[in-house]
């Protein structure tokens, strides 16, 4: 609105920065490629760098005592990995793992934290993102308590699609089961159902979303709720 923003980056947060802010940040950013399965932070481990995914997709996973794992956050080109380190200790309680491989911009935590503490545009942007992220997590909590695995699977696929900008997702049922905190057999059944309905196509670790529209109708409301909140806080019409 008031300043020209920078359209270059595929990452929404970087793209939302003003040209001057972006230029001042640029020297501190390195483009890296994140391979599938790479663990960016271990549970209880240090956060030394933050990441701005381009078309990669990163999951925040809480690992329970029993070894069960549940995804509690999903970060793609819409956000930054490592925000928690800006608010207190540079320690991650979740396992943070690369789900879909692609590039990301990487920066030292210290640089980002300095910039953040300086206030102004950058802080405002990251606070807005934090809030949107918080909504995502809260909605996930409510969703996990009340919605069926089929609905949650549909929602989850939509969230992935939106963040990597692709209908094609390289994902095994085993992996999805870990994210949803359920059994692989359950995912298998749910995925079959979605395929039978003609919403997705499934084949050995590769999912294609065939009918986006119908998938949205099938999914629970949580997809829309979170999407709307992201748009309200970070979209083109968000007031800074």
Partner DNA sequence: TGTTGTCTGTACGGTAGCTGACAGAGCAAT
Partner DNA sequence: ATTGCTCTGTCAGCTACCGTACAGACAACA
Residues near DNA, by CB under 7 A: 148-150, 172-174, 181-186, 188-192, 195, 202-206
The count of C-alpha atoms lying within 13 angstroms of the C-alpha of 70, restricted to the half-sphere facing its C-beta, is 14
Verify binding: residue 195, its own copies, rule CB under 8 A: no
Q: How far from 147 is each of 142, 152, 218, 237, CA to CA, in Å?
A: 8, 7, 12, 31
86 by DSSP, 3-state: which? helix
Verify binding: residue 182, its own copies, rule CB under 8 A: yes
Cα(55)–Cα(161) distance, integer angstroms: 10
The count of C-alpha atoms lying within 13 angstroms of the C-alpha of 133, restricted to the half-sphere facing its C-beta, is 21
Closer residue to DNA (CB): 126 or 187 = 187
Instruction: State which of positions 41-70 bind its own copies (CB under 8 A).
Output: 60, 62, 64-66, 68, 70
Instruction: State which of positions 5-44 bind its own copies (CB under 8 A).
Output: none
Q: How far from 54 is each of 11, 102, 107, 214, 223, CA to CA, in Å?
A: 5, 7, 14, 27, 21
Closer residue to DNA (CB): 151 or 162 = 151
Cα(104)–Cα(67) distance, integer angstroms: 29
Question: Quick one: angle between helices 120-146 and 222-234, nearest 10?
Answer: 170
Verify binding: residue 185, its own copies, rule CB under 8 A: no
Closer residue to its own copies (CB): 27 or 119 = 119
The residues with which 63 forms a beta bridge, in sequence order, are 69
**Of positions 5, 181, 189, 211, contacts its own copies by CB under 8 A:** 181
Q: In this structure, are residues 103 and 3 in contact, taking their beta carbons and an 8 Å threshold? A: no
**Of positions 141, 168, 183, 208, contacts its own copies by CB under 8 A:** 141
**Of positions 36, 108, 184, 232, contacts its own copies by CB under 8 A:** 232
Residue 186 contact, options DNA, its own copies, none, Cβ 5-8 Å cut-off depending on partner type: DNA
**Of positions 128, 155, 161, 163, contacts its own copies by CB under 8 A:** 128
Closer residue to DNA (CB): 196 or 237 = 196
Closer residue to its own copies (CB): 4 or 65 = 65
Closer residue to its own copies (CB): 138 or 210 = 138
Q: In this structure, are residues 19 and 6 in contact, taking their beta carbons and an 8 Å threshold? A: yes
Q: Which residue has the tokens 């709720």?
A: 225
Footprint of its own copies on this chain (CB under 8 A)?
60, 62, 64-66, 68, 70, 72-73, 84, 86-89, 93-94, 117, 119, 127-128, 130-135, 137-142, 144-146, 180-182, 221, 225, 229, 232-233, 238
């Amino acid at each position: 609105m008031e300043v020209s923003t920078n359209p270059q980056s595929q990452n929404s947060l970087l793209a939302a920065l003003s040209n001057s802010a972006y230029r001042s940040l640029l020297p501190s950013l390195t483009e890296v490629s994140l391979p599938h399965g790479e663990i960016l932070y271990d549970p209880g481990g240090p956060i030394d760098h933050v990441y701005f995914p381009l078309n990669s997709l990163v999951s925040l996973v809480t690992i329970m005592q029993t070894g069960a794992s549940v995804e509690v956050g999903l970060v793609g080109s819409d956000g930054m990995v490592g925000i928690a380190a800006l608010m207190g200790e540079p320690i991650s309680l979740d396992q943070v793992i690369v789900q879909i491989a692609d590039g990301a911009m990487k920066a030292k935590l210290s640089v980002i934290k300095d910039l953040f503490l300086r206030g102004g545009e950058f802080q405002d942007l990251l606070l807005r993102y934090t809030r949107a992220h918080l909504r995502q997590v809260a909605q996930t909590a409510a969703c996990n308590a009340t919605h069926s695995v089929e609905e949650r699977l549909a929602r989850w696929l939509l969230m992935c699609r939106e963040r990597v900008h692709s209908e094609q997702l390289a994902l095994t049922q085993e992996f999805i089961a870990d994210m949803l905190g359920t059994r692989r057999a359950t995912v298998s059944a749910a995925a079959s159902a979605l395929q039978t309905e003609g919403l997705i196509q499934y084949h050995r670790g590769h999912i294609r979303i065939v009918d986006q529209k119908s998938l949205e109708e099938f999914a629970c409301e949580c997809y829309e709720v979170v999407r709307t909140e992201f748009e309200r806080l970070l979209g083109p019409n968000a007031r800074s």
